Structure formats: C-alpha cells, structure tokens
Amino acid sequence: MKIVDLRIHPVAVSRQYATLTSGGQEGRKNPDAAPVELSYFYILEVETDVGIVGIGEISDIDPGSRMLDGSPMDLENVSAKLRSLLVGRDPSDMERLTLEVRTGGLVDCAIDTACYDIMGKSYGTSATSLAGGHLRKSVWVSWVAYIREPEAMVPEIQEKLAQGFNAFKFKVGRDIDLDEARIKLFREIGGDDLNLKLDANAAWDVDEAISFMRRLEKYNISGVETPIDKENVTGMARVRKAVDTPILEHVSTQEYALELVRHEAVDVFNVSTVGCGGIYRAKKVIAIAEAAGLNALLGSTVELGVGTAAQLALASSSWRVDWPSDLIGPLMYTDDVLNEPWEWDNGYLRVPTGPGLGVTLDPAKLESLRHTLPTSR
C-alpha cells in the first residue's frame, strides 16, 4: 500500500469562552495578554493507492507559527511539504516514517494519526487495537478551567459537576491571590474530594514555586504542572524535594524523559500525541514513565474531533495513563468536523471502536468551518 496524494482543509472553531493561561514568567508581566477565542486547524486527508483515505489533524495552530524547518504554516507550504515527504511511502512503515519524517510535533502527529487510520481501515480494526488494544472503554478526563475571575468560573464548575466530572485542572500563575481565591471557591462548591490539578505554565521561579505550592497544599492539590521553566530540570528537582504535592511535566521526547528520570524531577509525565508527534512516538515516551515507576496522563493542545480520537487511542491502550487526562476539546469547542457525536460517561470520554480512528469527517462542516490561517494572532 502506498500514499498517492493528500488534501488539507483549513478550519477554525470558537472556544466556549476566551481562554487565558499564565503565559509563563513573561506573560505574567503583561496584564493585557489576549485570551484565545478562536482556534485554527488543518484537517488532513491522506489518499492511498488502494482507495483507503486516512484522516489526521494539525491541531490548534498558532497563527504565525512555523514548521520545524522554519517555513511558514500556510496552506500552500504545508500541502507541498507533506506531499513531497509522504507520496510513495507505505503508511504502515511507522518506524522508518518516524525516523525520516520530522516536521514538528503538531504536523508529525497529523501524519501519524492518518497512518493509524489507514492501517486500521486496511486491517479492519481500530487504531486503539493497533496501539495496544482497548484496555479501557473510556478515558478519565479532567475539565480544564482557564484563568478568570472566581465569580465567572462558578457556572462552569457547576455545569461540569452536573455532567459528572470529578477531576479538574486549573490554569494558574498570573496572580497567586486570585489563584487561591479560585481554588478556595472550587472547594466550597465541590468539596475536598474532587481531583484538582494546577498548571502554572512556567509562571514561577524555583522559590516562588516552593512558597506558592506550600501555600496551596491545604486545598488537597493532586499535582502541579510546569511550576517553573521545564528546561530547568535541576530546579524542578529542587521544587519537588521541597514540597509534598506531586510535580507534573509535559514530556515530548525520550531524551527529555530520561533527563527528568535521572534528576528525579517529576512524579507524572504529561504525554500527548500532539506533543510527541503521534501515537507511535508517544508510546515510546510513556514506556519510560512505566520503566521509571512514574504515572502518566494525556495532555492536550485542545484538539478537535480527529485529534481527540487519536489521543483516545493512545490513552485507552496505555495502562500507565492512570491520571485524569486533559481531553476537553469535544466540550470546549463550539463545533466539530465529525459526523459522530462524542459520548461521555460521567466525566469519562468513550473510546470509538470502529475501523481506524472510528470517526468520519462531515464534508458540510469542513465547508462551513472553512477559515484561512491568519499570519498573526
């Protein structure tokens, strides 16, 4: 089987509300940072010589961002690059494909997703089965609440509790007093037993991280993600030794995974298809968490339906992914490109079982959501 052509559909979808993170230490100094209202995607269709078409998703593209070789993410360039890299290749040749094709995590992920979809359809089985099997029928999801005034957050939390969510993640890091007020209010609404992670998006330095995490310990925080700059691995190890709260970090390569393990810097790997460049590469990173006796969860750049299906194949087939994952795309976006509705089981997202990814594109949605990627945000 060979890849013979591909098509890319540029789409944009609004978020339920304009979302704001800390923006790191730099972002913290900018109180007027613009929240994200609209997210941009390239939906990829990869055609083979046997008539099977596989789908993938370049998720939540930041306008102005570039591919790994420095070239722009405009439609013409990405289409030409992918055509030159993929046409003539066997989509099941994954080890070779991941060694030879490196275009940046988001684009690599779309390629990997389309290949799993093609392989599944070709073999008459699900991408999840190919990734290791349907170990779980549904995946535990933590609702991600972005930085807002506490009062604005109340209906959001109440709605998610009513939908059955028992795990949450709060974006924090712009203002510790505001963070504490939000967490305190959350505990008043939902009680002390709900699973609550925090994600500071690298807003703090080592001393701030230690002092802020100690200050928040009384709220029964299950873990804090990216308290400091993730490149400062020795600093992260210092924070971890000084606090009782587990440390979570995004891990997208095997090399970085090993560095974290060597320095005993984290408790939980945050792994994702989008971060690692697809299911195949992400599996190798999760295997390091497994070997090191660490936990894992799936992070997210907030994917649309195709990307979410790939994440579910990874999560449901990996036993070490035992922490709540951040797969909120199906509820955070106001629309999707799929024919099939998502099914939830009390805060658990059901894993599709059909051939390939188990989801199909709605051509009318690709048309109505069509949107050119702007050159800057």
The gap from C-alpha 122 to its chain's centroid, in whole angstroms, comes to 27
Q: Is position 199 an interface residue for Mg ion (rule: CB under 5 A)?
A: yes
| Nearest to Mg ion of 39, 48 (CB atom) | 39
| Nearest to Mg ion of 6, 202 (CB atom) | 202
Residues 169 and 158: their CA atoms lie apart, in Å, by: 14
CB of 362 to Mg ion, least distance (A): 30
Interacting stretch for Mg ion, rule CB under 5 A, among 89-97, 199-207, 272-280, 359-367?
A: 199-207
| Nearest to Mg ion of 47, 303 (CB atom) | 303
- Element (H or E) spanning 171, and its range? strand 167-171
CB of 171 to Mg ion, least distance (A): 8
Interacting stretch for Mg ion, rule CB under 5 A, among 29-37, 89-97, 118-126, 197-205?
A: 197-205
CB of 112 to Mg ion, least distance (A): 21
Q: Is position 112 an interface residue for Mg ion (rule: CB under 5 A)?
A: no
| Nearest to Mg ion of 61, 130 (CB atom) | 61
CB of 300 to Mg ion, least distance (A): 9
Q: Which residue has the tokens 């992920």?
A: 109
From residue 206, how far is each of 56, 93, 199, 209, 216 by CA, in Å?
A: 39, 44, 15, 5, 15
| Nearest to Mg ion of 53, 145 (CB atom) | 145
| Nearest to Mg ion of 94, 274 (CB atom) | 274
Residues with Cβ within 8 Å of 363's Cβ and at least 6 positions away in sequence, in order, are none
β-bridge pairing 167-171 and 143-145:
parallel
* Cβ-based neighbour number of residue 178 at 10 Å: 15
DSSP string covering 260-323: HHHTT--SEEEE-HHHHTSHHHHHHHHHHHHHHT-EEEE--S---HHHHHHHHHHHHT-TTB-S
| Nearest to Mg ion of 259, 340 (CB atom) | 259
- Name which of residues 82 to 101 contact Mg ion (CB under 5 A): none
CB of 129 to Mg ion, least distance (A): 29
- Name which of residues 200 to 259 contact Mg ion (CB under 5 A): 225
Interacting stretch for Mg ion, rule CB under 5 A, among 30-38, 131-139, 191-199, 207-215?
A: 191-199
CB of 314 to Mg ion, least distance (A): 17
Residues 67 and 119: their CA atoms lie apart, in Å, by: 26
* Cβ-based neighbour number of residue 76 at 10 Å: 9
CB of 225 to Mg ion, least distance (A): 5
Q: What are 328's two structure tokens?
A: 């909120």
| Nearest to Mg ion of 117, 326 (CB atom) | 326
CB of 105 to Mg ion, least distance (A): 14
Interacting stretch for Mg ion, rule CB under 5 A, among 23-31, 150-158, 195-203, 355-363?
A: 195-203
- Number of residues this chain uses to bind Mg ion (CB under 5 A): 2
* Residue nearest Mg ion, Cβ-based: 199
DSSP string covering 26-91: HHHT-TTPPPEEEEEEEEEEEEETTS-EEEEEE-SPPTT-B-TTS-B--HHHHHHHHHHHHTT--T
Name the site residues for Mg ion (rule: CB under 5 A).
199, 225
